[in-house]
Amino acid sequence: METNDQPAVRVEWGYHVAPVLMVRGPDGDTREMVFDPLLFDSPVPVEEWRTALHDTPSLVRSAPGDPPRPALGGSGYWPGPDPIEGPDMHARETLEDYRRLTD
């Protein structure tokens, strides 16, 4: 995926998690929107999000609080058991590391 801030930079990952919620638009219609602040400044339709990944990612649906792939263990933060420091702390530290790379 190319970044908006630095188009020459390409980011690759083996997994990426973002919540999808039903959102009612100004016209009264509801549709699925992806909330992914790492990639977008506002919610986007699922297909726009998938296109931004420049891949054909699988879309795994799970109930709130359930991991998307229970057989792998963990909360669903990534494919496997959660990091020792917990998903929230790991995510904050990882995002800070990535931000330092783009500054």
| Residue spans per domain, the chain | 1-59, 66-103
CA 71 to chain CA centroid, nearest Å: 20
The model carries a pTM of 0.62
Of 65, 64, 16, the C-alpha closest to 40 is 16
Over residues 16-73, the pLDDT tens digits come to 778 899 999 899 999 999 999 988 999 999 999 988 887 666 778 887 778 888 888 8
44-45/20-24 β-pairing: unpaired
Contacts of 92 (CB under 8 A, 6+ apart): none
Q: What is the C-alpha separation between 57 and 85, in angstroms, rounded?
A: 28
